[in-house]
Chains A and B, each alone.
Chain A
Amino acid sequence: MKARVTITLKPGVLDPQGKAIEGALADLGFADVASARQGKVIDLELSATDEAAARAEVGQMCEALLANTVVERYDIAILA
């Protein structure tokens, strides 16, 4: 089973990299961009076959290591 964890900064947490991306897009003429936020994606291959069990296990991984919940939040998607 494959799982994808998407980690993003919590709303309100300053994201200087997102700001830099915003600025670069504006420089390229993309005037429509109101805001850009940068995050990260971690793909996991698991031996679990049960989706609920996989989701619970990945949730524990996020809390233990993958996300710093002081400033980040995470979203878990089971891909296959």
Chain B
Amino acid sequence: MRSAIVVFPGSNREHDAARAIRLAGGEAPDLVWHTETELPDVDLVMIPGGFAHGDYLRAGAIAARSPIMRAVANHAERGGFVLGVCNGFQVLTEARLLPGALMRNACLTFICRPVGIRVERSSLFSWRYDKGAELVFPTAHHEGNYRADEETLRELEGEGRVVFRYTDNPNGSANDIAGIVNAKGNVLGMMPHPEDAVEAIHVCTDGLDLFRGLVGAAT
């Protein structure tokens, strides 16, 4: 699998993401700076975690309007895989590649700990997990409280687009939502960090199958 990781000023998980992709059997990803207007020919574009542009205005707001994001939208439109984790999820909602918004955590505190996640459905990103499997992924965010209007929530639930749900909601997210896909199923946004659950030094290796699944789907 070939992949690109978009890097903004303030991104900080791009090297974790690259390492996870390599550990899962993918080629070493290209890191692409936000001012670029074109992506290399890749299967997966990943928007990593961090604090792009210092979270100024709103988390992900400035990054979502970067020159590279037009190329990311085109890649998604063509059916290419897009994975946004944490700040990357915020960027994808701000770019309207995914519906809804990530608001300040209901508890108001920055959450930095492993959380329980349940796999709600099989998808391009989750097919290697059993449906209903309970996983542990690290989280590190201040704005992870997923919000959307009632109609959007009904649509997400009705179309089975909630891929990951918290087993013990840490941030107040509507319907315990931890990760969703777009209508076509090729764009996933999630707050917890699968790339930080891939090797022995981590809390667990539950994230590895997400990346292995993408590698498998790309070949």
A residues lining the B interface (CB < 8 Å): 13-14, 16-17, 20, 64-66, 68, 70-71
Q: Which of A17, A65, A66, A71 interacts with B101 by CB under 8 Å?
A: A71
Is A17 a contact partner of B104 (Cβ separation < 8 A)?
A: yes
B residues lining the A interface (CB < 8 Å): 57-58, 61-62, 65, 93-94, 99-101, 103-108, 145, 147-149, 172
Is A71 a contact partner of B57 (Cβ separation < 8 A)?
A: no
Shortest beta-carbon distance, A64 to chain B, in Å? Answer: 8
A20 to B104: give the CA distance in the assembly, Å. 12
A71 to B101: give the CA distance in the assembly, Å. 7
Shortest beta-carbon distance, A62 to chain B, in Å? Answer: 12
Is A16 a contact partner of B105 (Cβ separation < 8 A)?
A: yes
Is B145 a contact partner of A14 (Cβ separation < 8 A)?
A: yes
Q: Which of A20, A65, A66, A68 interacts with B108 by CB under 8 Å?
A: A20
Given the complex, which residues of A lie within 8 Å of B57, measured CB to CB?
65-66
Is A16 a contact partner of B148 (Cβ separation < 8 A)?
A: no
Q: List 15 A-B contacts (CB under 8 A).
A: A14-B145, A14-B147, A16-B104, A16-B105, A16-B172, A17-B108, A65-B61, A65-B62, A68-B94, A70-B93, A70-B99, A70-B100, A70-B148, A71-B101, A71-B147
A70 to B147: give the CA distance in the assembly, Å. 9
A20 to B62: give the CA distance in the assembly, Å. 27
Main secondary structure of the interface of A (DSSP, over half): helix
Nearest residue in A to B65 (C-beta to C-beta)?
Answer: A65
Q: Give 4 A-B pairs besides A17-B108, A68-B101 with Cβ atoms closer than 8 angstroms.
A: A13-B103, A65-B62, A70-B93, A70-B147
Is A71 a contact partner of B103 (Cβ separation < 8 A)?
A: yes
Given the complex, which residues of A lie within 8 Å of B107, measured CB to CB?
16
A27 to B108: give the CA distance in the assembly, Å. 18
Given the complex, which residues of A lie within 8 Å of B105, measured CB to CB?
16
Shortest beta-carbon distance, A65 to chain B, in Å? Answer: 6
Given the complex, which residues of B lie within 8 Å of A71, measured CB to CB?
101, 103, 147
